[in-house]
Amino acid sequence: MPSTFLGLNTGLSGLNYFQSALNTTSHNISNANTEGYSRQQIIVSATDPLRLNQSYGMMGTGVAGDSIDRLRNEFYDNKYWAANSKYNKYYTQNDNLSTLQTYMNEMTGEAGYTQWLSQMSQALQDLADNPSDNTTRISYTLTADGFTDMMNELANNFQNTQKTINDEIELAVSEINSLSKQIYELTQQIINVELKGGNANDLRDKRGVCIDTLSEYAEVEVLEKSIMYGVGHDQVPSNAEALSVRINGFILVDEMEYNELMVVPRSENINQTDVEGLVDVYWKCADGTAGEFFDALHTEGKLQGLFEIRDGNNGENFRGTVKSIAENPSSVAIDIPTPIHVYNLNVPQQGTINLNGKDYMYDGWTADYDEDGYLTNFQFNNMTMFDDKGVEISARFPQGIEGKTAKIGEYISVKGIPYYMARFNEMVRTFSDYMNSIVTEGVDKNGDAALDMFTAQDPYGDDYVLKGTMEGAGVLQSTDSSYYRLTALNWELNEEWKKDPSKVAVSYARDVEQGDVEARPIVDKIIYGMTDMTMYSQGTVSHFMQSITTTMAVDISKTHTFAANQDDIKYTIDSQRTSVSGVDENEEAADLTKFQNLYNLASKVISVLNEVYDKLINQTGV
């Protein structure tokens, strides 16, 4: 037999449900433009019916709200995070390459090397017309010096960009650490609320926004599993779920703790022209020291894009195998599969070399070279290493290391700043050697042996003497005067040429001895050399610079296309995700009207039953 007031309780359940539905709809409308907000809805079911003995069986008792759930699809979340990581990697590459292209455009534009070639041609022609005149000699040296200044500025701009990217890496690591802490704290709040049977939808949305942002920096793997009560086979799931977030395969956040990354400056450079202070990323230990290495080059996202442009070498890093080792002092001989020309050598004078997975430091090297300037059989000297306590000691090599892999830096297929700096170095070394070999055959105005036209200053402030270096086959030390010591950063016209125009070589010794002041065979050879198609494999110096510009333009176009494609994919996935979890204003407006009408009807039910009970209680009876 049902209660006399069953109908009133039934109407009240509907009134409560529709009131909650109106509140939830109001919450959805209020957060229609809130980033990461997921639309919420009340999950309801009919309350348990009453079993009656009469023929009509069971009687309904109303409605009950089971929970307020947010509409979210984990499948779309995972797809969005993956697409977001790839998009940010390509966008970061494109953005930084575009910055480098700006500097290249300055070099290749009307005010760059094109203008210099025109001015140089004019200066050479003037010198050819009047080789004994100091004015034409000064004009010639100023023009040549201007070209070295342009290359110095270009290389410095690339180095400054490398430093800027390095700073961005530090900021990215700081942001990842901040996000990991936020995700951990939100997870603790969510678990605390849900274990008590509460609802943590809004906290989950905030955590989702943090994971969205984290996916910009690195590819994320997110896993949620129920927190279990009980032991063994008696375990039952609770209302709460534990979350774990991994980046690069390692746990960043779980229900127990959050981990952090840290940046550690390199003790030695990897490439000859790297800016000082480049950092690597490591996992941070509890005591604040650096733990395991974080391989940022193998995780999608902005962090990978930054490292690839900062360190990208187009796979041209130094690689070989250990031939032999020696101790007291420690050294290692390396066989390389392909000889390296001195023009292309990018190995630092002092640096770090990895032997069979372990890093060792060296403070100099020697190499055999042939008559064409190709280097083989490298030996790295005065090797040191860090022991278990972080103290630098003389290198101790393990047994069986012969035949194992040796490398400096990583193989990175992307053409980043080290790649372009190596091309600039190749340009100045090739050009200098070509021109120096011409001018050093002659003499200056006073009949003295001509000095190198292009060189660089050594650590003592004197010009390197490159004339006659590496002639025939021999052994090259890293500290020797050689074209290896010339880079786009330190390249310059010989100081003596700049100070004294009489030092400019235009003639051979026999011409000066014969008093032929108008002889200019050196100038004629230089004029020819400016258009010599054999100077570089690409052709002239102009063709070489154009090849660098074209290579960069192709890479920018490629990264722009990849970024645009990933942006489209990300947009499509986000639209799919929004179609599930986003707030539709028209739909919410319709729900608002619907629940208002139903609320009024539920109120009418109670009002009618109130009249019935009033009649029953107050107006009937004895």
- Do 328 and 474 share a domain, yes or no? yes
Q: Which string of b and e fits 463-488 if b means at least 16 CB within 10 Å?
A: bbebbebbeeeeebebeebbbbbbbb
User: Is the model's pLDDT at 55 over the cut of 70?
Assistant: no
Confirm whether 526 is domain-assigned: no
* Residue 199: predicted pLDDT: 87
563 in Cβ contact with 570 (< 8 Å): no
Q: Which residues contact 224 (CB under 8 A, 6 or more apart)?
A: 241, 242, 243, 244
- Do 260 and 332 share a domain, yes or no? no
- Do 277 and 384 share a domain, yes or no? no
- Do 291 and 325 share a domain, yes or no? no
Looking at the chain, the whole-number percentage of residues with pLDDT higher than 70 is: 97
- 483-486 long-range contacts (CB < 8 A, ≥24 apart) are 483/342, 483/343, 483/429, 483/432, 483/433, 484/342, 484/345, 484/429, 485/456, 485/458, 486/425, 486/428, 486/429, 486/432, 486/454, 486/455, 486/456
- Do 201 and 337 share a domain, yes or no? no
* Residue 112: predicted pLDDT: 67
- Do 486 and 398 share a domain, yes or no? yes
Distance CA 102, CA 214 (A): 30
Q: Which residues contact 150 (CB under 8 A, 6 or more apart)?
A: 107, 112, 113, 116
**What domain count does the chain have?**
3
Q: 18 is in which domain, residue-wise?
A: 6-71+583-618
pLDDT in tens, 328-374: 889 999 999 999 999 999 999 999 999 999 999 999 999 999 999 99
User: Which band of pLDDT confidence, cut at 50, 70 and 90, is reported for residue 54?
Assistant: low
Confirm whether 436 is domain-assigned: no
- Do 263 and 358 share a domain, yes or no? no
Type of residue numbered 555 = D
pLDDT in tens, 379-417: 999 999 988 888 889 999 999 999 999 999 999 999 999
* Residue 622: predicted pLDDT: 45
- Do 205 and 330 share a domain, yes or no? no
Looking at the chain, the whole-number percentage of residues with pLDDT higher than 90 is: 70
What is the average pLDDT score of the chain? 91
- For residues 106-129, give the mean pLDDT: 79
Residue closest to 554 by CA, chosen among 55, 56, 39, 93: 93
Confirm whether 358 is domain-assigned: yes
- Do 341 and 485 share a domain, yes or no? yes
Give the residue from 228, 262, 296 where a domain finishes.
Answer: 296
Confirm whether 260 is domain-assigned: yes
- For residues 137-162, give the mean pLDDT: 93
- Do 347 and 485 share a domain, yes or no? yes
User: Is the model's pLDDT at 110 over the cut of 80?
Assistant: no
- For residues 571-592, give the mean pLDDT: 92
Residue closest to 490 by CA, chosen among 429, 416, 435: 429
More reliable by pLDDT, 128 or 5: 128
Confirm whether 274 is domain-assigned: yes
* Residue 513: predicted pLDDT: 85
Give the residue from 240, 262, 296 where a domain finishes.
Answer: 296
* Residue 424: predicted pLDDT: 95
Confirm whether 12 is domain-assigned: yes
Confirm whether 106 is domain-assigned: no
- Do 327 and 213 share a domain, yes or no? no
- Helix or strand run (H / E) with residue 304: helix 302-311
Residue closest to 227 by CA, chosen among 242, 214, 212: 242
User: Which band of pLDDT confidence, cut at 50, 70 and 90, is reported for residue 620?
Assistant: confident
User: Is the model's pLDDT at 53 over the cut of 70?
Assistant: no
More reliable by pLDDT, 331 or 65: 331
- Do 328 and 473 share a domain, yes or no? yes
pLDDT in tens, 431-486: 999 999 999 999 998 899 999 999 999 888 889 999 888 888 999 999 999 999 99
User: Which band of pLDDT confidence, cut at 50, 70 and 90, is reported for residue 316?
Assistant: very high
Confirm whether 134 is domain-assigned: no
Tokens coding 105? 């455009």
pLDDT in tens, 233-291: 777 777 888 899 999 889 999 988 999 999 999 988 999 999 999 999 999 999 999 99
